[in-house]
Amino acid sequence: RIDMLMLKYFLGPAPVGLYNAAYRIVETINLAPGLLFNAFYPLIIALHQKNRALLTGYYSTIYKYLYLLGVYVAICLFFFSKDVLIFLFGQAYLSAALPLQILGINCLLIFLNMPLIYFLNATHKERSLFKIVVCLSLVNITLNLIFIPKWGIAGAAGSTVICEALNLLALLTVTRQNILAKGLWLIALANLLAFIIFYVYSSVSWLIILPIVSLLYFGFLLLTRTIRLQDFLFLRKRHA
């Protein structure tokens, strides 16, 4: 990772360790959409060849769940970055809290980017994907040259998020996929309510408030039929 090398060059090894701790948490979370699409990748190829209308519906369903998970993860990392770092690595890593909060946004962006990347691979547009990667690598280096000396590890995190946002725009331009899903306003409302509760009860231990709000969050989405059994049956049926 170029940002690690640049952090070490500008700031030395200690900030690299802090940034790596935050990045490892986000990297672990980001495994989820990759594992999901590895399982469904053969189906994506088959639907692209035989039934593109069905593929659109398939993607719309998946995107809905990527939204509701990605935004909620970003909110949780925003409020509980310090608690997570202390729990996993100890008090010495508290300085990585701000980068972790920033990288939480990156989780949402990667959740949205992953289906588009698999779509490009399934449609044999690897060359377009390669061009995007090369261009964004150059952008990332440029931004790190500006951000790291000025803002340190938070600057490196900001550079990563900006590049991932640009990646989303580039992927959307190339694939021409619609990433809007039904029920987005309910997902937005649920996350707004979660944000307010976390803010109001910020003094409550995260080990107590996080499970409670998570139950309320997913319960609300179930009651409003944003999360539906039919969606999972649809995905399972098409996968079979």
Question: Tens digits of per-residue pLDDT, 3-34?
Answer: 899 999 999 999 999 999 999 999 999 988 88
Average pLDDT, the chain: 89
- Please identify which residue in the block is written with the tokens 């990759």: 34
Torsion angle defined by CA atoms of residues 131, 136, 137 and 143, in that order, rounded to the nearest 10 degrees: 160
Q: What is the pLDDT of residue 206?
A: 95
Place 236 in a pLDDT band, splitting at 50, 70 and 90.
low
Q: Residue 58 is which amino acid?
A: Y
Stronger pLDDT, 160 or 38, i.e. the higher one: 160
Question: Tens digits of per-residue pLDDT, 194-233?
Answer: 999 999 999 999 999 999 999 999 999 999 999 988 877 7
Q: 167 near 109, Cβ under 8 Å?
A: yes
Place 237 in a pLDDT band, splitting at 50, 70 and 90.
low
Cα–Cα distance for residue pair 35/124, rounded to 1 Å:
20
Question: Tens digits of per-residue pLDDT, 147-179?
Answer: 999 999 999 999 999 999 999 999 999 888 766
Residue count of the chain:
240
Quick one: three-class SS letters along 187-230?
A: HHHHHHHHHHHHHHCCCCCHHHHHHHHHHHHHHHHHHCCCCCHH
Cα–Cα distance for residue pair 11/9, rounded to 1 Å:
6
Q: Which two tokens stand for residue 192?
A: 């707004």
**DSSP annotation of 91:** G
Place 240 in a pLDDT band, splitting at 50, 70 and 90.
very low
Q: Which two tokens stand for residue 61?
A: 């369903």
Average pLDDT rounded to a whole number, residues 79-93: 96
The neighbour count for residue 151, using CB atoms within 10 Å, is: 16
Provide the whole-model pTM. Answer: 0.90
Judged against a pLDDT cut of 60, whether residue 238 lies above it is answered with no
